[in-house]
A and B are shown apart, each in its own frame.
Chain A
Amino acid sequence: DAGITQSPRHKVTETGTPVTLRCHQTENHRYMYWYRQDPGHGLRLIHYSYGVKDTDKGEVSDGYSVSRSKTEDFLLTLESATSSQTSVYFCAISESWNTGELFFGEGSRLTVL
């Protein structure tokens, strides 16, 4: 199994509070992604990174920011959480864009009350 660790795995927070989710990999892969999964929507890309300090937006990036200061860590921040951001968040990594195959973390379930 690919070495991907997400933390926290479960979090309950209140509207308006900041939240940071962490994705840590031990595979030294270049590409890292944050997806959210909601019923009826499949997985939707929030942000992704193609190298240290190199990030770009996905299709549902509003209300989220990311940072990647080291190859192994990709942080997803909700500056002011809203109930619409209640979801399961998955981090994924990919070694090479030529193959594009993603390896996923175990997911972080976030509930915003």
Chain B
Amino acid sequence: ELKVEQNPLFLSMQEGKNYTIYCNYSTTSDRLYWYRQDPGKSLESLFVLLSNGAVKQEGRLMASLDTKARLSTLHITAAVHDLSATYFCAVDDFGNEKLTFGTGTRLTIIP
């Protein structure tokens, strides 16, 4: 059974600081996704990582994938309040046409 673990589960950080969210998974997969969810809202796709070494950046967020380590990171640079949200990673359950989600990281940016 595929396991997807995120850490930390909760993160409170000051504006302007840098931090990284980690996503570990238990199976061989080269496809990983990051989503954002604002409170009471739906999930929004942030990044699609489809190969080992893939790196994607959008604004202050950068995601990377290391399939050999079974690890993806979501790096936040110079955090701003608007980035406060819950971030989920999800992994392709290889060959089974479905994604398994991590439990999410609730990020709070303090002014």
A-to-B contact residues, CB < 8 Å: 31, 33, 35, 40-45, 48, 50, 58-59, 90, 92, 97, 99-107
Q: Number of contacting residues on B, CB 8 A?
A: 23
Indicate which residue in A31, A45, A58, A90 contacts B43 across the interface (CB closer than 8 Å): A90
Give the complex CA separation of A97 and B97 in angstroms: 6
Closest 9 CB pairs of A and B: A42-B103, A43-B101, A42-B101, A104-B43, A104-B42, A106-B42, A97-B97, A42-B104, A101-B48
A-B contact count (CB 8 A): 53
B-to-A contact residues, CB < 8 Å: 1, 4, 31, 33, 35, 41-45, 48, 50, 88, 90, 92, 97-104
Q: State whether B103 touches A41 (Cβ < 8 A).
A: yes
B95 → A minimal CB distance (Å): 9
